[in-house]
């Protein structure tokens, strides 16, 4: 594999050397090609690339850069803490975490509060300590409410973000097996997400109506209908077809909700998916289960790639298999006709096949 491809893989694995090495071990004869995404030439990527050229080893380059990376992160987090302490003393912070639904909830909370307050929210899917710190540094001085999405891959990640922003209100959207591959157990996921509740005065759990306490605390009207969030069960009508774009990511609950949304539409019902990932030991089982449910609803099922092929072969006699999204589009064109509904469920990055 070329050095550029290795660096792209490393970036896709968020510079986690353990996952990078495991991928190379499991996929020794494969190359990561920039198709769906591109290598982002950040300063970090440029330095690591230069060091790799110099040393002849990407792994060694990452190890050499690690102290610099650590120091840079510490400086940015400290700068964000100082900015919050001196310039945002009256800021009210709402922390949002959960196995899924974080970004959608963040957007809804922000739209609710912008009726009355100057609101700033974490940008895009920035939800790591570094991403949050950088957003804090960009936050306008007159901000009154900061809606902060908080992600985690290990115990302590949520705690670290909370120690930076000091949330007053905490929302946990749902706790489930997303990233189970990293956390190993659902109990570990639960303990990590609950770190948020150790820091807040107002706790809004997965079974609560998050909008009511937010509306009451801030004295703003409840919004009954929100605009759809891009690529998150977004419904698009074009050329007589209805497309449900749920391609941002996928999980067992969200997948079933998207399938349920299909029921309200006509035929043919066409599902296009690579299946769900990062479910650890449950991945095969959960994909097989949802495949069986999809078979009852869908007229055609197109499974993209090899990652979950075995589970879908076992779970659905309707499943046909293609190697990439280009082949999937050809099949969609064959099956589609006016009135059809197409569910695009998940879209895996380039290091999944």
Do 116 and 190 have their domain in common?
A: yes
| Ordered mean pLDDT values, 10 residues apiece, the chain (353 residues) | 96 95 92 93 96 96 96 97 96 96 94 97 92 97 97 96 98 90 91 97 92 94 88 90 93 94 92 95 95 97 96 97 93 92 95 89
Do 244 and 322 have their domain in common?
A: yes
Distances (CA, A) of 93 to 120, 163, 270, 312: 10, 12, 42, 43
Distances (CA, A) of 29 to 1, 56, 90, 322: 9, 20, 56, 20
Whether residue 124 is contained in a domain is answered as yes
Whether residue 95 is contained in a domain is answered as yes
Do 240 and 202 have their domain in common?
A: no
Whether residue 313 is contained in a domain is answered as yes
Whether residue 242 is contained in a domain is answered as yes
pLDDT in tens, 330-349: 999 999 999 999 999 999 99
Helix (H, G, I), strand (E, B) or coil at 158: helix
- Of 19, 38, 70, the position where a domain reaches its end is 70
Q: How many domains does the chain have?
A: 3
The reported pLDDT for the residue numbered 40 is 96
Whether residue 164 is contained in a domain is answered as yes
DSSP label at residue 175: -
Do 94 and 204 have their domain in common?
A: yes
Beta-bridge mates of residue 96 = 149, 171
- Of 183, 218, 253, the position where a domain reaches its end is 218
The reported pLDDT for the residue numbered 17 is 95
Q: Which run of H or E residues covers position 71?
A: helix 58-87
Which residue range(s) make up the domain with 166?
88-218
The reported pLDDT for the residue numbered 207 is 85
Do 196 and 313 have their domain in common?
A: no
What DSSP string runs through 112-149? HHTTTS-EEE--TT--SHHHHHHHHHHS-TT--EEEEE
The reported pLDDT for the residue numbered 224 is 87
> Which residue pairs from 121-125 have beta carbons closer than 8 angstroms and sit at least 24 positions apart in sequence?
121/146, 121/147, 121/148, 121/149, 122/147, 122/148, 122/149, 125/149, 125/151
pLDDT in tens, 224-253: 888 888 888 899 998 899 999 999 989 999
Helix (H, G, I), strand (E, B) or coil at 68: helix
Which residue is listed with tokens 């494969």?
30
- pTM, two decimal places: 0.91
Do 214 and 118 have their domain in common?
A: yes
Do 193 and 241 have their domain in common?
A: no
The reported pLDDT for the residue numbered 129 is 97
The reported pLDDT for the residue numbered 239 is 87
Do 239 and 338 have their domain in common?
A: yes
Conformation bin of residue 306: beta by default, left when phi > 0, alpha when psi is -120 to 50: alpha
Do 102 and 204 have their domain in common?
A: yes
Do 214 and 103 have their domain in common?
A: yes
The reported pLDDT for the residue numbered 209 is 85
CATH number for the domain including 297?
A: 3.90.190.20
Q: Which residues contact 309 (CB under 8 A, 6 or more apart)?
A: 303, 321
The reported pLDDT for the residue numbered 220 is 95
CATH number for the domain including 133?
A: 3.40.1190.10
Whether residue 350 is contained in a domain is answered as no
Do 214 and 239 have their domain in common?
A: no
Whether residue 352 is contained in a domain is answered as no
Is the Cα dihedral 222, 223, 225, 226 positive or negative?
negative
> Which residue pairs from 159-163 have beta carbons closer than 8 angstroms and sit at least 24 positions apart in sequence?
159/195, 159/198, 159/199, 160/129, 161/95, 161/128, 161/129, 161/132, 162/95, 162/195, 162/196, 162/198, 162/199, 163/199
Whether residue 223 is contained in a domain is answered as no
- Of 190, 218, 246, the position where a domain reaches its end is 218
Do 41 and 13 have their domain in common?
A: yes
Distances (CA, A) of 154 to 39, 94, 129, 249, 315: 25, 21, 12, 19, 32
């Amino acid at each position: 594999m070329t050095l550029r491809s290795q660096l792209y893989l490393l970036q896709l694995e968020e510079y986690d050397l353990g996952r990078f090495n495991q991928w190379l071990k499991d996929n020794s004869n494969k190359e990561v090609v920039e198709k769906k995404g591109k290598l982002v030439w950040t300063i970090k990527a440029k330095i690591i690339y230069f060091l790799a050229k110099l040393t002849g080893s990407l792994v060694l380059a990452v190890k050499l850069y690690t102290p610099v990376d650590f120091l840079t992160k510490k400086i940015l987090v400290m700068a964000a803490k100082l900015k919050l302490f001196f310039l945002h003393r009256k800021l009210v912070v709402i922390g949002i975490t959960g196995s899924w639904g974080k970004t959608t909830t963040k957007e809804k909370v922000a739209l609710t509060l912008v009726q009355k307050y100057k609101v700033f929210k974490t940008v895009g899917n920035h939800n790591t300590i570094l991403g949050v710190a950088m957003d804090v540094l960009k936050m306008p001085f007159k901000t009154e409410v900061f809606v902060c999405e908080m992600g985690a891959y290990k115990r302590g990640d949520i705690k670290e973000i909370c120690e930076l922003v000091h949330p007053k209100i905490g929302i946990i959207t749902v706790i489930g097996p997303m990233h189970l591959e990293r956390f190993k157990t659902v109990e570990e996921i639960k303990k990590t997400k609950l770190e948020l509740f150790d820091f807040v005065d107002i706790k809004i759990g997965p079974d609560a109506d998050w909008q009511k306490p937010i509306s009451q605390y801030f004295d703003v009207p409840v919004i009954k209908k929100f605009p759809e969030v891009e690529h998150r069960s977004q419904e698009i009508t074009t050329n007589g077809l209805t497309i449900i774009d749920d391609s941002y990511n996928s999980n067992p609950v969200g997948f079933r909700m998207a399938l349920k949304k299909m029921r309200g539409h006509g035929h043919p019902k066409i599902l296009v998916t690579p299946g769900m990932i990062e479910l650890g030991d449950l991945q095969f089982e959960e994909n097989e289960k949802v495949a069986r449910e999809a078979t009852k609803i869908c007229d055609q099922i197109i499974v993209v790639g090899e990652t979950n092929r075995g589970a879908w072969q076992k779970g659905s006699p309707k499943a046909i298999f293609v190697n990439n999204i280009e082949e999937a589009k050809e099949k969609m064109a064959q099956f589609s006709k006016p009135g059809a509904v197409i569910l695009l469920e998940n879209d895996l990055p380039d290091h999944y096949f």
